[in-house]
Each structure stands twice: as C-alpha cells, then as structure tokens.
Amino acid sequence: MTDQAWPWPAGAATGIGSLPGTDIAEAQRVVLGELPALPHLPELPARGPGADLIGRTAGLLAELPVELYAGRWRVAPRPGRDLRRARDLMERDLDQLAEQAEEYAGPVKVQVGGPLTLAASLELPIGGRLLRDPGAVRDLTGSLAEGVRGHVAAVRRRLPRASVLLQVDEPSLPTVLAGRVPTESGLGVYRPMGSDVARSLLRTVVDAAGVPVVVHCCAPDLPLELIRSAGAVGVALDLETLTDLDPLGEAIDAGLGLLAGAAPTRAPSAGRAPTSAEVADRVRRVWDRLGFPPRRLAEQVVVTPACGLAGATEAYARAVLAACRDAGRRLAEV
C-alpha cells in the first residue's frame, strides 16, 4: 500500500462517543484534556430520551420528524416536544464544544447513528421497524444524509480552524445483513438486507458528509470490505470481537484505517483501569499478528476504548481515556 494521509495525527487516541454523567461542560473538559490529538463530541445518554444514539441522530433528520411512543422512537406526523428536546440537547452540546474549543485547530470527531441501525430501530407509524419497507429505508437514508451534511456544517461554523471526522455508528449492521433483527412480536425476524443495498445506503451518507468517515460497530462479524468499499476511511471495532484476523488484514492492506478498541469499557474485577502499557501491548500484539511494518502502526491506527463508556463510572472513564492517550504516544515512539 502506498503512503497516504490520515485524518488524524500519528499516535492519536480518541473516545468512541458516550460517557457517563449528565454534565456536558464537564464531559467536554475531560475529552479535551485527555484526548488532545483527536477529541470527540461527548454523548451523555444518562440525560434521557434525545441524548441516546437513536434519538440524538433522529433529531438531525431532515423533514422526517420523530416522537417517543411507548419508550420507542417512531416516525411522527409533525415535529413535537420529543424532537425539540433532542435538537435542543445537540445545540447545547455544540455550543459547549465551541465555547471550550474555539481556538482548536486539529481534527475533531462527531458521531451519528448509521442508516441501517436507524432502520432497525425506528418504527413506522403503523407499527414495525422501518426495515420492513425498502422505500421507507431509502427515504430515511436520504433524510439522514441531508441531516449529516447540515450537522457537519454546524460543527465547522463553530470550530472554523478544526477539521471534522465523522463516525457513523452501525451496531446493528451485522444483524441487518444476517436477517436477525426481530419483528415487533418477537416471533419472527426481518428479511436480510443484501450487501449491495447496505453498501449503497452507507455510501449515500458517506458521500453526503463531505469529510472523512469512520464506521463503528462493536459486534462480531463486521463486514469490513463492505465498509471500505462504501467509502469509509476507517473502521472502529472492539479487538476482543476478532476471531479471524485475515479480513482485517486485507482491509488494512487495502488502505482502511483502524480505530482499535483496546481498553475495556467497565472496570474488571480488580477494579482498576488498564495501564497505558497494557493498552499499547494489546494493540501491538494484533498488529504484529497481522504482519504489518511497525512504522505504520501509529499512523494507520487510533487507540480507543472497546466501545462507549456510558456504563462506566466517571473516574474509570477518565482513566481509560488517559490510558488510551498515553498508549497512542507509546506506539508512536517505535
């Protein structure tokens, strides 16, 4: 593979997105302090509906209002209170980012839910997931693409000196492709989505973003070639889910960047966060097994927690981010 420019500096570390707590100002301070090379916009799902992955992203959709019904997000006939709350939370988060990082001039990462995960989660007004209706899925993807375009522009306006990296969260991607998404009754499943259709949907969002995109999924059986061919510059995954390294090696060799989830999201029984040496060794072992030159490791790989940290304590989350940061620096010293 020829040398290429990556949208992050060598030895970078970042978070996946979610953090514990409800104070966005404090969460932003933690991120900017612990992840100076590649900070991200924190997500705080503990704040309730509209701060969760689906509600937060649904608030960005263009001309496709949503509402909460029986604890689930569904398409609504008109904008209402639930949608206003989701949008207000996002505006508050972006304003806080601008206030604390006004002069920041490096890459910054923001996260949105992907079209397949939204289709598997949002419900139609008549019941059932959008996934059951291919036309509705296409409309959803077009709406998301327009919303993503506007979201990236909003970040750029607030941080004019920064460069934006978009993370598309697709936790449901493998189950959608495999036909394992349960129907509303729980007695059946929705039909599997073809790889070509899924690739096209992802590509629509990637192209609309107009900035480098990484796709994140912590589930096993991640379709790495589909992600790469959809135009993503990188994939974020949990190293613990890898059972076969060959597909990852092929994707990396073809030019896909790796956000390597190498630190557990909750404290183990010992009760302490991993050290930076332990995190760095976890990444280095996988890289060595793949057989790539050590010099490429710090350039092509970003160190991250295994997944979001919303379920951790605030102290553990901060310690994990610091360990990832220092692990990235260790890997850059090779």
Strands 163-169 and 213-216: parallel
pLDDT in tens, 43-82: 999 999 999 999 999 999 999 999 999 889 999 999 999 9
d(CA 132, CA 129): 6
Q: How confident is the model at residue 186 (pLDDT cuts 50, 70, 90)?
A: confident
Q: Give the whole-number percent of the chain exceeding pLDDT 90.
A: 93
Strands 163-169 and 234-238: unpaired
Q: Are 101 and 108 in contact (CB under 8 A)?
A: yes
DSSP conformation letters of 199-268: HHHHHHHHHHH-S-EEEE--SSS--HHHHHHTT-SEEEEEGGG-S--HHHHHHHHTT-EEEEEEE-SS--
Q: How confident is the model at residue 2 (pLDDT cuts 50, 70, 90)?
A: very low
CATH number of 48-232: 3.20.20.210
The answer to whether residue 268 scores a pLDDT higher than 80 is no
The reply to whether the predicted model has a pTM over 0.95 is: yes
Q: What is the mean pLDDT of the chain?
A: 95
Conformation bin of residue 263: beta by default, left when phi > 0, alpha when psi is -120 to 50: beta
d(CA 77, CA 242): 42
When pLDDT is averaged across residues 91-96 and rounded to a whole number, the result is 97
pLDDT at position 269 is: 67
When pLDDT is averaged across residues 291-297 and rounded to a whole number, the result is 94
d(CA 116, CA 193): 9
pLDDT in tens, 190-212: 999 999 999 999 999 999 999 99
Burial class (CB in 10 A: 0-12, 13-18, 19+), 158: middle
When pLDDT is averaged across residues 306-330 and rounded to a whole number, the result is 97
Listed in sequence order, the residues at least 6 apart from 315 whose beta carbon sits closer than 8 Å to its beta carbon are none
| Largest Cα span, the chain | 57
Q: CA–CA distance from 318 to each of 20, 237, 263 (Å)?
A: 10, 20, 12
At 173, list the tokens. 């991607």
DSSP conformation letters of 121-138: H-B-TTSSBGGG-HHHHH
More confident: 173 or 271: 173
Domain ranges of the chain: 48-232
pLDDT at position 281 is: 97
The answer to whether residue 295 scores a pLDDT higher than 80 is yes
At 286, list the tokens. 């996988």
Backbone angles phi, psi at 243, to 5 degrees: -110, -30
